[in-house]
Amino acid sequence: MQMTPHNTIQRTLIMSQKLKRQTSLWMFLFSGIFTGPLQADVDTPVEDTAYLLCGGCHGPNNIRTMEDMGPNIIGQKKGYISKQLRAFRDGKRSHPSMNGAMEPYSDKNIDDLASFFANATVDLPGSQSTNKNSDPTDPSPQKHEH
Amino acid sequence: MYDFKRKDKLSFVLKASLALLAFSASFFSSNAYATAAFSRQTGESCATCHMQGYGPWLTEYGTKFKLDGYVAGDAAKVPTLLNNFSAEIVSSVTNVASAVPQGTYFQNSKYASNAQTNVLNDWDAIYYTGRVLPKVGVYFQINFTPQTSRSISLSMADMRFADHFSFEGHNVQYGITANNAPTMSDTWMTSFAWMYPYTTSSGAVAPNATPWLQQLMASPTSVGMTAYTKIDNHWYFEAGGYSNQSIAMGQGFGQAMNLGANDAIVGGAGYWRVYWDQVFGAHHIMFGSYGLTGNVAPNIAGQIPGQNYSVATTGTSSKQEVNLDSNYSYMMDEKNMFMVMWRYTHDSIKNAAYLQTNNGVNASDALNNDMLMGMWTYEKTYNLAFAWNHQWGTADMALYNNGSPITGSANGSPNSNSFLVEVDYIPFGKGKFLTDPYFNMRLSLQYWAYTQFNGATTNYDGFGRNAGQNNTTYFVTNINF
């Protein structure tokens, strides 16, 4: 699903994201050092990214624990997660945290993350295991606990 | 001495230029959403980790980020060794109700002032913060105070290793931290390292008596190591030990080790921290306790630990501090956040016989401190806070009366009572401005009113100074980039 700008504020935010990306690109081309190719694979293990980065806003083990935190993502469909993460990365969907967090990740990184969340389950005291959309053909972990 | 050949010189210049350019790029990489190194590392806005878009009030993610060892995120555009740098400038205008004569707070004559109103560059800082290894992160803050103390010092240091595991369905975070003050490792604003108000004036007058952990944080002359764990994101336990830095080590870190600023730890002191926090929908509540216990060489007026007397001959005093604290926050809606926090501190000390005989201190002293603060934050941009601080304890002429105008206490009492009102404006740090990648800023206006100071409301110093004459208006700008 591609988000369509529906008001001035959102259009401004999206334009701001695009401008930032363009500025960033020129900064990279100008500096040209240490950066390597854009969107090269990030080598942080997908489990660590899921726990350290995603888990911060989407709750411990990616279960939301507070009203203002991000939505649950464990058990979400792989295709949906992939598409949304690409939209955040490419500035087609605007969110001040997600745009920046996703910016370094390649298509492969995003697909790996999407597979991980689509197939992972979690057991927390007082919570029910969540995994309604696992793909048995997917090689990603079938159960992951932190 | 190494003799540079021409080729080596060129190579050196080239490498230095590249490093400088990369360093510059790290500050101007446009897709990071704030300027601090943490923000560049995660790619997320300052407001992701800080409730107000500027530290130190932490969100749940901010707390987790710290307990995980500052290692999350892959958005840094340059190697982390360079990305970890950032800087801060803190400048202010201070107005004290009645002038503070020369020499009371300035330690040099060049910048001394008798004026009621002073424009100050309070301090500047170079930070080195973030991931250095996959499970190891650091938080270093080197302060430059060009006017009030003309010093360079290691203000805050926290190196930590962290990891996590799952045990029978329980999520366990754990880690080890080495740092330069008790509570440096903490995540709550009711701890002395991160307590409210965030910034206080270098040009104001503060009460003589301060709780032990506040001393050790204000002038970080200790060094220690603790281990911590947080279970199921609810229960937090931390324990470890601290010792005084050696005079050489402390002076190397820029601390005035021979001025007797603190009740210096002799041997080792044990530190503990425990709290429980829980989220109920939009409500977040926490109860906790922390403290330190050990032997000290007390900070006594006229004595210079390590120089004027030897602990071996004077004996040591035993000291304990116990803190109880609680935090409650309520996210009323997407724009309005409320917070109330409370801390109670109890210090007790049993003084060595030598000090009782030769310095006239009491056999034992107690000091209590109570802080209550309420805060309303709108759109993570506007903040209004009210605070009350009450301190009371045993009068001790040797500890609290230095015999000086303004900073003395005629009755030797540590009792003080004050109220604080603060308004903050944090326009950036939410990822909505093009300027966000370049710098973050907080403007604060603070008014601190005393109804009791160093033991009395009127003529507290014996030289005619009243508590209300120390009331302070403070406008301060924090810029981080």
Over residues B77-104, the pLDDT tens digits come to: 888 788 899 999 998 988 889 887 755 5
- The pairing of strands B235-244 and B382-393 is unpaired
Look at the block and give the residue holding tokens 């995003």. Answer: A110
Model pLDDT for residues B188-231, shown as the tens digit of each residue? 999 999 988 888 887 788 898 999 999 888 888 889 999 999 99
* CA angle centred on A76, ends A73 and A77, rounded to 5°: 145
Q: Give yes or no for residue A3 having a pLDDT over 60.
A: no
Q: By mean pLDDT, which of A41-45, B3-7, B230-234, B361-365 is the weakest? A: B3-7
In the predicted model, what is the mean pLDDT of residues B161-183?
92
Contact B44 A33 (CB under 8 A): no
Q: Give yes or no for residue B11 having a pLDDT over 70.
A: no
Q: Give yes or no for residue B427 having a pLDDT over 50.
A: yes
Kindly state whether residue A66 falls inside one of the protein's structural domains.
yes
Kindly state whether residue A124 falls inside one of the protein's structural domains.
no
Q: How far apart are CA A132 and CA A78, in angstroms?
A: 11
Kindly state whether residue A23 falls inside one of the protein's structural domains.
no
Model pLDDT for residues B143-169, shown as the tens digit of each residue? 888 777 777 888 899 999 999 998 888
Q: Please tell me the distance in Å from A4's CA to the nearest CA on chain B.
A: 19
What confidence category does residue B421 fall into, taking pLDDT thresholds of 50, 70 and 90? very high
Contact B32 A31 (CB under 8 A): no
Residues of A whose CB is below 8 A from B42: 53, 100-101
B44 within 8 A of B33, measured Cβ to Cβ: yes
Q: Give yes or no for residue B127 having a pLDDT over 60.
A: yes
Q: By mean pLDDT, which of B180-184, B260-264, B456-460 is the weakest? A: B260-264
Report whether the peptide linkage leading into residue B427 is cis, meaning its omega lies within 30 degrees of zero: no
- Residue of B433 and B169 predicted with greater confidence: B169
What confidence category does residue B281 fall into, taking pLDDT thresholds of 50, 70 and 90? confident
Kindly state whether residue A135 falls inside one of the protein's structural domains.
no
pLDDT above 90 coverage of chain B, percent = 47
Q: Please tell me the distance in Å from B43's CA to the nearest CA on chain A.
A: 4
Say which residues have a Cβ less than 8 Å from residue B90's Cβ, sequence separation at least 6. B121, B122, B123, B124, B125, B199, B476, B477, B478, B479
pTM: 0.81
In the predicted model, what is the mean pLDDT of residues B52-62?
86
pLDDT above 70 coverage of chain B, percent = 84
Contact B284 A145 (CB under 8 A): no
Out of B39, B75, B331, the one facing A68 most closely (by C-beta) is B331
Residues of A whose CB is below 8 A from B437: 20
Of A26-40, B113-127, B452-466, the range with the highest mean pLDDT is: B452-466
In the predicted model, what is the mean pLDDT of residues B254-279?
81
Model pLDDT for residues A39-91, shown as the tens digit of each residue? 567 889 998 998 899 988 886 665 555 566 678 888 889 999 999 999 999 99
Size (chain B), residues: 481
Q: Give yes or no for residue B396 having a pLDDT over 80.
A: yes
Kindly state whether residue A54 falls inside one of the protein's structural domains.
yes
Q: How far apart are CA A139 and CA A133, in angstroms?
A: 14
Closest-approach residue (CA) in chain A for B280 = A66
B314 within 8 A of B329, measured Cβ to Cβ: no
Contact B232 A97 (CB under 8 A): no
Q: How far apart are CA B349 and CA B169, in angstroms?
A: 44
Contact A97 B169 (CB under 8 A): no
Q: By mean pLDDT, which of A24-28, B327-331, B430-434 is the weakest? A: A24-28
What confidence category does residue B270 fall into, taking pLDDT thresholds of 50, 70 and 90? very high
Closest-approach residue (CA) in chain B for A38 = B77
Residues of B whose CB is below 8 A from A24: 29-31
Q: Which of B362, B366, B444 is nearest to B398 (CA)?
A: B362
Chain mean pLDDT for chain B: 83
Q: Which of A54, A57, A34 is nearest to A46 (CA)?
A: A54
Q: Give yes or no for residue A132 having a pLDDT over 60.
A: no
In the predicted model, what is the mean pLDDT of residues A2-6?
41
Residue A115: give its domain's CATH number.
1.10.760.10
Kindly state whether residue A17 falls inside one of the protein's structural domains.
no
Kindly state whether residue A78 falls inside one of the protein's structural domains.
yes
Residues of A whose CB is below 8 A from B22: 31, 33-34
Element housing B398 (H / E)? helix B397-400
In the predicted model, what is the mean pLDDT of residues B32-57?
78
pLDDT at B103: 52
Query: Number of CB pairs < 8 Å for A and B?
Result: 138
What is the token pair recorded at B28? 């101007």
- Residue of B470 and B296 predicted with greater confidence: B470
B426 within 8 A of B381, measured Cβ to Cβ: yes
Contact A21 B72 (CB under 8 A): no
Out of A42, A48, A124, the one facing B169 most closely (by C-beta) is A124
Amino acid (1-letter code) at residue B67: L
Model pLDDT for residues B287-344, shown as the tens digit of each residue? 999 999 999 877 664 454 444 445 556 678 899 999 999 999 998 888 899 999 999 9
Report the sign of the C-alpha dihedral through residues A53, A56, A60, A62, in that order.
Answer: negative
Kindly state whether residue A130 falls inside one of the protein's structural domains.
no
Query: Which domains, ranges and CATH numbers included, belong to chain B?
Result: 31-480 (2.40.160.10)
Q: Which residues of A touch B (CB under 8 A)?
A: 13, 16, 19-21, 23-24, 27-28, 31, 33-35, 42, 44, 48-49, 51-53, 55-57, 60-61, 65-69, 96-97, 99-105, 123-125, 145-146
Q: Which of B52, B29, B44 is nearest to B335 (CA)?
A: B52
pLDDT at A19: 52
- Residue of A96 and B239 predicted with greater confidence: B239
Q: Give yes or no for residue B122 having a pLDDT over 70.
A: yes
Element housing B21 (H / E)? helix B6-28
Contact A31 B21 (CB under 8 A): yes
Angle in degrees, 0-180, between the axes of helices B6-28 and A8-31, rounded to the nearest 10: 180
Closest-approach residue (CA) in chain A for B167 = A146
Closest-approach residue (CA) in chain B for A57 = B61
Counted domains in chain A = 1
pLDDT at B435: 61
* CA angle centred on B432, ends B430 and B436, rounded to 5°: 70
B113 within 8 A of B99, measured Cβ to Cβ: no
Model pLDDT for residues A103-129, shown as the tens digit of each residue? 899 999 999 999 999 987 755 443 444
Q: Give yes or no for residue B356 having a pLDDT over 50.
A: yes
pLDDT at B34: 34
Q: Give yes or no for residue B469 having a pLDDT over 80.
A: yes
**Residue A70: which domain range?**
39-119
What confidence category does residue B433 fall into, taking pLDDT thresholds of 50, 70 and 90? confident
Q: Give yes or no for residue B363 having a pLDDT over 80.
A: yes
Out of B21, B71, B434, the one facing A19 most closely (by C-beta) is B434
Contact A125 B72 (CB under 8 A): no
